[in-house]
Structure 1
Amino acid sequence: MKCFILQSFRFVCSVIVALFLLSVPAAAQELQVRININSQQVQGTDKSVFDNLKQTLEQFMNERQWTDLQFQENERIDCSFNISVTKYDASNNRFTCTAMIQANRPVYNSAYTTTLYSNRDKNFDFDFVQFDQLNFNEEVIDNQLVALMGYYAFLIIGIDLDSFSPMGGTDVLQRCMNLVNNAQDLGFTGWKSFEDSRNRFAIVNDYLDEALKPFRQLQYDYYRMGLDEMASNVERGRGNVTTALANCLKKAHDNKPLSLLPQIWTDYKKDELANIYKGKGTQKEKESVYDILFGINASQNNSWEKIKQ
């Protein structure tokens, strides 16, 4: 009898625990990453090494929880890494590559997806031995490939958080900066200050620069107050975008003219910005936006001209 009661008690407890777990939303990883490896420039190499690299990177990025934040499955940040291998030395497992990294963000109450970050890393070089497992230790950065993927994980999550809350990504961006500092002795290009105004150090250092705080504010004002608002009220949302460009983007550029963040941002937002204003808004508003964007990135003037139409 005692045995029967004990078994019944255990069964009831297991049911209660199961129901409790079902009632608690499951936390998902922050990123949903797609890796594309283009190895067309490399001849005479067993392609299985590139297939294994793709599989290893997707598993590393997608199965790891990078922060303590609770992301739901439908909140995962959509990202892509298009890695072009220009040289592969099988004798020392060295990959010489460039990579195009992009992250996207849904616009609320719409089917539209906007680009949150897009930039080319021209020094995406690393060593990788087929079937190697990647292990991440934030305090001890001793592997270039792990450092590269960890850097972009933190950078993208930080920018995404900024787009939902003013300066919301500060802690994660600081972790990205700490990773850069810990990667100084890896012996690969892209981690050092003054090495390149567009390298990995320069990008995250500028995000955390007090002079570029308006650029951080731009992420919230443009996406949350602008694009998200446009889904329910086009005029109000566009007005908020106009204000964000004047008060945040222009101010950031004025505060630190040598920073490339405003230029990089306008490079990948050019078509979207043109579509926001083309045939819409007052002539005064369109001319004001044109002047701001042309002053920051004259190379994209073909797109800025569409704003005035």
Structure 2
Amino acid sequence: MLLQRVHAQELNARVQLLAPTVSNLNPANLQMMQDAIRNFLNSNKWSTDTYLPQERIECNFVITIRAWDGNASYQADAQIQSSRPLFGSSYNSTLLSLNDRDFNFTFTEGQPLEYSEQVFINNLSAILAFYAYTIIGLDRDSFANLGGTPLFLKAQQTMNIAQTSGNTGWKAADGLRNRYWLNENLLNNNYQALRTFIYSYHIEGLDRMTQDQNTAAGNFFRSLTALSSLDKQRFGAYFPNIYFSGKSDEFIQICSTLNAAQKRSALDLLATIDPANAGRYQSAK
């Protein structure tokens, strides 16, 4: 059964389609594809929950076409980002920020973009559906402990069906930083402590910042310290890596509100968890 376009959709996606090195692409066709992708993400209903207009999840898809075969086949990268607002604030906190280097697809002018939960129709709709489920799942995780699991299972179902298509990015053998490993990490019990951190960090930390900054900062420190139980080697896996790398500026800002001893401890732990930004954490001391 095809997804039906109904009210109370979950996403407020902004889509930008670029082709800086592909000079023979018609700008009108780019605009058509961009509109089709945006409408597909924003008009389909991805869960059973009802979202008010102001509750729709903010997300961005910046798709850069690297090559075109002159017909309907495109090779592209996509920068995908989602966020959720803080209670009582206009600030949005990043939940997902990654670059998908296997965002390859076919698109024929005038052909509707459709998706089925039961069969593979095309790679573009499968990729977009996978990320729609993942974005909504992470948003749910930030409001309820492990609340995103049903959506991650939906993404897994999409992935399993897409693996039969021969397109890259869906299998473990396709690389270490792809859709397969993102979904595997999110559903792997070994990373539940990180998903629990996402919940406690947002509900007990960020969402309390406007009411009681000291309590919120203390809750952040306790939540971060609880992650010490997670095997340090696992922090190099795909999802922990992209999650912490996307939060480094935010974490440093919160650390600045801790007392001196907690600040040093928090920044040392962050340097271990997010080695790509270890220098920045050490400098923040």
Task: Classify the TM-score, shorter chain.
Answer: over 0.9
1:271 to 211, 224, 249: 249
Q: Unmatched 5+ residue regions in structure 1?
A: 1-25
What's the offset of the Cα at 1:219?
1.4
In structure 2, what residue type is equivalent to 1:261? F
Could you say which residue in structure 1 is the equivalent of 2:73? Answer: 94
In structure 2, what residue type is equivalent to 1:273? F
**8 Å contact kept, 1:94–1:127:** yes
In structure 2, what residue type is equivalent to 1:185? T
Could you say which residue in structure 1 is the equivalent of 2:9? Answer: 29
Q: Unmatched 5+ residue regions in structure 2?
A: 1-5
Larger relative CO (CA 8 A, sep 6+): 1 or 2?
2
**8 Å contact kept, 2:62–2:78:** yes
Percent identical: 29
Structure 1 stretches of 4+ with a deviation exceeding 4 A read none
Distance in 2 (CA, whole Å) between partners of 1:174 and 1:132 is 29
Q: 1:258 to 1:194 in 2, by over 3 A?
A: farther
2:263 to 283, 286, 289: 286
Q: Name the SS for the 2:82 alignment partner.
A: strand
In structure 2, what residue type is equivalent to 1:166? N
**8 Å contact kept, 1:158–1:172:** yes
Could you say which residue in structure 1 is the equivalent of 2:203? Answer: 224
**8 Å contact kept, 1:27–1:72:** no
Q: Name the SS for the 2:51 alignment partner.
A: coil
Could you say which residue in structure 2 is the equivalent of 1:141? Answer: 120
Could you say which residue in structure 2 is the equivalent of 1:106? Answer: 85
Could you say which residue in structure 2 is the equivalent of 1:21? Answer: none
Question: Can you list the C-alpha shifts for 1:246-277, whole angstroms capped at 9, x where unaligned?
Answer: 213x4334373552322211211111111112
In structure 1, what residue type is equivalent to 2:153? Q
Distance in 1 (CA, whole Å) between partners of 2:26 and 2:144 is 47
Correspondences of 1:37-186 after superposition (within 5 Å): 37-91=17-71, 93-186=72-165
**8 Å contact kept, 1:29–1:62:** yes
What's the offset of the Cα at 1:27?
5.3
Q: Name the SS for the 2:113 alignment partner.
A: coil
Distance in 1 (CA, whole Å) between partners of 2:139 and 2:122 is 26
In structure 1, what residue type is equivalent to 2:277? Q
**8 Å contact kept, 1:275–1:307:** no
Could you say which residue in structure 1 is the equivalent of 2:171? Answer: 192
Q: 1:116 to 1:258 in 2, by over 3 A?
A: closer
User: In terms of Rg, which structure is larger?
Assistant: 1
Distance in 1 (CA, whole Å) between partners of 2:283 and 2:212 is 23
Q: Name the SS for the 1:256 alignment partner.
A: helix
Q: 1:296 to 1:184 in 2, by over 3 A?
A: same
Distance in 2 (CA, whole Å) between partners of 1:246 and 1:260 is 21
What's the offset of the Cα at 1:90?
1.8
TM-score (ref. length: structure 2): 0.94
In structure 1, what residue type is equivalent to 2:58? D
TM-score (ref. length: structure 1): 0.87
What's the offset of the Cα at 1:193?
1.6
In structure 1, what residue type is equivalent to 2:136? I
**Does 2:281 align with 1:301?**
no
CA RMSD of aligned residues (A): 1.6
